[in-house]
Structure 1
Amino acid sequence: MTVSMFGFGRLSAELKVGIASGVVFFSILISRTLISERVNKNTRASLFRVQFLLLINSLLLLGSLYIWKRVVRRLCGARGAPSVPQRCWRLLVLLFLTLVHGSYLCMFFLVDTEPHWLSLQSFSCLGIYVILLFFLFVFGCLTRLRRLLSRSRGGEEDAVASGSGSHIVLAMILTAILAVYGLVNAAQPPRVIEVEIPVEKLPESLNGLRFVLLSDIHLGPTVGRSKLQRIVTMVNELNPDVVVIVGDLTDSQVTRLRIAAEPLGQMKAQLGSYFATGNHDYYTADVEGWFELLGSMGIQALHNSHAKVFRPEQPQDWICLAGIDDLEARMLRYPGHGMDVEKALSGCSAESPIILLAHQPHAAKQALQQRPDISLVLSGHTHAGQLFPLTILAFLMNPYFCGLYRVSEHTMVYVTPGTGHYGIPMRIASHSEITNIILKRA
């Protein structure tokens, strides 16, 4: 029995790819539900990577078909033999789309101490792809709307149709401008943002305590040792009391990034440095390896646990600094890991302020529903969208997007836009940040 008997062969290319994407997506959900924790985590990691690459590339293929039809067929025309410039244009677009589809392969196979040139090229093309796809879609919708409005005006519809090519050119020009801006913006050192946060029950001896907040460094295919060294140098210049890293430190295993991570050992904090996991740390399938490496550098991992932060001269005055595992640890069935707020806060005094490290804003919201006595939650994950138009999605999908939020009379949440960037070396409508938090008595 052939697929044509079901009519599958007559479906459009976009619909076929959409169906394939759906199949891959549901296979991910099923495998996450059925795979036992007893299965070797490296095997699970390999399965996740294969599924992830299939899903990403099937989704990218939908966008690639859309782009090809507009920037090649629409501009070059589909009839007759193409001219030499048209052939060159087609080859250029094909090379661009090939680099886009190879970007996530670089994440798994081209990770080293410093970013590989092919990784930087591929992920830059991916950023251009996202921006171009957005403008082509928006301008395409506007063109269709104009056609609908012009049907009652006779010949004007032809003029609208003929103007669609200019919209494609305009989309490419805007994309080029924004891409250059995004690349330059992401290449700049992180901004140091100082934020004063009032904390109830803060002892007088800890008034003015300085927390430096880092998150979403994403050490990996496009962030290497040199960028991390710059971040660590900037942190040390702030002379912090405490440094906290709220997840997504890395996108690969310790064996690949040990040398790249060495600057973390130079980080100086008078009262200690701490780390809580993010979703990408679990994607590496090497969380224990990273815990061990960070521990050797004097950075304590808060794995559903807490630490007492106090000045040596007054140990009776302390803050309960707690960290929870990322939300996705349980979904990934990572052995021995999963968000547990009560375990993390077990032993915290009701008389002392509680500061919680929770990578995702959704985790922050859930934690506050369980324990409204938490004074302050520090989160990341959103990147403040990192790249327009992804900013829109990030804003809509998270309960807290970026900046300081007062959740209740006694509780606040701060979401950092991140200290690095994920994959695409661009930032548009956002910036990298090192947050210098000063705690004040409420």
Structure 2
Amino acid sequence: MTILIFALVALAVCALLVLVHRWLWIRLVRDTTAPGRLPRRIGTALTIALPLLSVAALTTGRAGAPFWLQQTVAWPGYLWLAVLLYLTLTMLVAEPIRALLLRRLAHRDPSGAESDAPRTVEVSAAAASAASTVTAEQPATDERSETGEGLTRRRFVARTVGGAAAAVAVGTVGAGTYGVLRGPRVKRVQVPLAKLPRAAHGFRIAVVSDVHLGPVLGRAHTQRIVDTVNRTQPDLIAIVGDLVDGSVPDLGHAAEPLRRLAARHGSYFVTGNHEYFSGAQQWIDHVRELGLTPLENARRELPHFDLAGVNDIQGEREGKGPDFGAALGDRDRSRAAVLLAHQPVVIHDAVRHGVDLQLSGHTHGGQLWPGNYLAELANPTVAGLERYGDTQLYVSRGAGAWGPPVRVGAPSDITVVELASYQA
């Protein structure tokens, strides 16, 4: 039954993508180019090739394809997904504008015609006169109007509206890509904890989530993150899951700069859902070799508070899901407790076990607007600090990006959480 539902959903998604691409082809290729011309052939070829590259980008990793092939299809395939999103949105906004312009042009036309007749856009009185003479003496085809007397009115509107929409979409994706490749910015948040002693006031935890090393983001991105974290001079570093999208043989080199993370009380790691897609145990073993301490449903008693970590809920499929009893069950509740958990949805378990602060990621803050509205449906908190009973939850937007290396409306961050004591 589950397989049938998945197949039906997959078919529905594929059908929607086909319809969207067909509509975009009509508006951006057919309506803006002449039949049989090279621009139309190129546009048609791209309309077919780009979605195929996107499907390849999404599936080659799961299919076990060679890493070089994953890298080859990832950049164009993932970037097209982002462009497709904003191109579709801008074209939907542009559709009524296009209809209004065509209606106004038809109103100005004495004949009232709206067809692709060889009428020309009036650039000057002389050009208009010449165009009307040619039209009267010898009917021009679409091809003739482009090479001789100018564009048809309908095609001129299509090119103007489509070009503006494409420029907005490409510009948005370009800016969002630059934001990811530039590296995450540092965000600072002060969190007061009632049980924190005065001696721990000002304790700084650098929270890193959702790096997503893979066929797009590699060693250079890791190095940017490490340099940024180390510049904050944190007391402790917490990597709260989704570090990788791939295996250790493929991405071990990309993760190598993590060895240079520096904090007085060490660096800690908990799994995210993507670690289980990639082989969680191999990464747990590897990050330990890099000098990080994995917290697998475990707890460390630091000088002034307890630091605990739980496995991601995706691990339940392997019998290695979160175990709050193992991580928090027998602790001294008079001490403050900070929990590392990848997904915000476990906040209610944290509340039941008396956690003072939960640090999470997973949501990416929505990553691509309007994805934040979808993220709100699945997560109690999408980004930032919120309180649930006596427990506070902080959710980072993440330091990388999944799929398209693009962020719009949800900039990447590394958050320095500064713990504050009420006694200070």
- What range describes the TM-score normalised by the shorter chain of this pair? 0.7 to 0.9
- Counterpart Cα distance in 1 of 2:186 and 2:66: 28
Asked if residue 246 in structure 1 is aligned to residue 240 in structure 2, the reply is: yes
2:48 to 76, 86, 94: 94
- Counterpart Cα distance in 2 of 1:101 and 1:219: 20
Aligned to 1:391: 372
**Match of 1:396, as an amino acid?**
L
Shift of 1:343: 2.1
Aligned to 1:43: none
Shift of 1:88: 2.1
Shift of 1:98: 2.5
Counterpart contact for 1:323–1:358, Cα < 8 Å: yes
- Counterpart Cα distance in 1 of 2:365 and 2:74: 23
Alignment of 1:192-207 (within 5 A): 192-207=186-201
- Counterpart Cα distance in 2 of 1:220 and 1:426: 14
Asked if residue 298 in structure 1 is aligned to residue 277 in structure 2, the reply is: no
Aligned to 2:313: 327
- Counterpart Cα distance in 2 of 1:392 and 1:261: 32
Alignment of 1:116-135 (within 5 A): 116-135=71-90
Cα pair distance change 1:295/1:84, threshold 3 Å: closer
**Match of 1:268, as an amino acid?**
A
Counterpart contact for 2:210–2:401, Cα < 8 Å: yes
- SS of the aligned residue for 2:22 comes to helix
Asked if residue 188 in structure 1 is aligned to residue 148 in structure 2, the reply is: no
2:342 to 359, 364, 377: 359
Counterpart contact for 1:216–1:246, Cα < 8 Å: yes
- Counterpart Cα distance in 2 of 1:265 and 1:158: 67
Asked if residue 404 in structure 1 is aligned to residue 398 in structure 2, the reply is: no
Alignment of 1:251-270 (within 5 A): 251-270=245-264
- Counterpart Cα distance in 1 of 2:308 and 2:69: 32
Cα pair distance change 1:277/1:225, threshold 3 Å: same
- SS of the aligned residue for 1:218 comes to coil
Counterpart contact for 1:128–1:175, Cα < 8 Å: yes
Cα pair distance change 1:212/1:112, threshold 3 Å: farther
Aligned to 1:417: 397
- Counterpart Cα distance in 2 of 1:306 and 1:166: 61
Deviations 1:381-421 (A, max 9, x none): 1111111232332233321011111223x321111000111
Number of matched residues? 376
Counterpart contact for 1:419–1:433, Cα < 8 Å: yes
Asked if residue 71 in structure 1 is aligned to residue 21 in structure 2, the reply is: no
Counterpart contact for 2:98–2:161, Cα < 8 Å: no
Cα pair distance change 1:78/1:228, threshold 3 Å: closer
Counterpart contact for 2:341–2:359, Cα < 8 Å: yes
Alignment of 1:275-314 (within 5 A): 275-284=269-278, 286-310=279-303
Counterpart contact for 1:348–1:354, Cα < 8 Å: no
- Counterpart Cα distance in 1 of 2:176 and 2:83: 10
Shift of 1:239: 1.8
Unaligned stretches of 5+ residues in structure 2: 101-108, 116-153
- Counterpart Cα distance in 1 of 2:363 and 2:14: 21
Shift of 1:138: 5.2
Structure 1, 84-93 or 262-271: larger mean CA deviation: 84-93
Shift of 1:178: 0.7
**Match of 1:195, as an amino acid?**
V
- Counterpart Cα distance in 1 of 2:184 and 2:364: 13
Shift of 1:68: 2.2
Aligned to 2:355: 374
- SS of the aligned residue for 2:195 comes to coil
- TM-score (ref. length: structure 1): 0.75
Aligned to 1:41: none
Cα pair distance change 1:205/1:283, threshold 3 Å: same
**Match of 2:412, as an amino acid?**
S
**Match of 1:295, as an amino acid?**
R
Asked if residue 431 in structure 1 is aligned to residue 414 in structure 2, the reply is: no
Identity %: 31
Shift of 1:230: 1.6
- Counterpart Cα distance in 1 of 2:10 and 2:229: 35
- Counterpart Cα distance in 1 of 2:176 and 2:78: 12
Cα pair distance change 1:208/1:113, threshold 3 Å: farther
1:350 to 333, 336, 343: 333
Cα pair distance change 1:165/1:361, threshold 3 Å: farther
Shift of 1:102: 1.8
Cα pair distance change 1:224/1:201, threshold 3 Å: same
Q: Over aligned residue pairs, what C-alpha RMSD do you find?
A: 3.5
2:220 to 226, 239, 244: 226
- Counterpart Cα distance in 2 of 1:201 and 1:411: 12
Shift of 1:194: 1.3
Structure 1, 86-95 or 236-245: larger mean CA deviation: 86-95
- Counterpart Cα distance in 2 of 1:276 and 1:406: 22
Aligned to 1:273: 267
- Counterpart Cα distance in 1 of 2:161 and 2:357: 48
- Counterpart Cα distance in 1 of 2:23 and 2:68: 39
Cα pair distance change 1:111/1:360, threshold 3 Å: farther
Structure 1, 200-209 or 374-383: larger mean CA deviation: 200-209
Larger Rg: 2
Cα pair distance change 1:217/1:269, threshold 3 Å: same
Unaligned stretches of 5+ residues in structure 1: 1-22, 31-50, 147-154, 311-317
**Match of 1:309, as an amino acid?**
L
- Counterpart Cα distance in 1 of 2:18 and 2:69: 29
- Counterpart Cα distance in 1 of 2:200 and 2:174: 45
Counterpart contact for 1:57–1:101, Cα < 8 Å: no
Cα pair distance change 1:437/1:110, threshold 3 Å: farther
Deviations 1:238-286 (A, max 9, x none): 22111101110111111221121111111111112111111111111x1
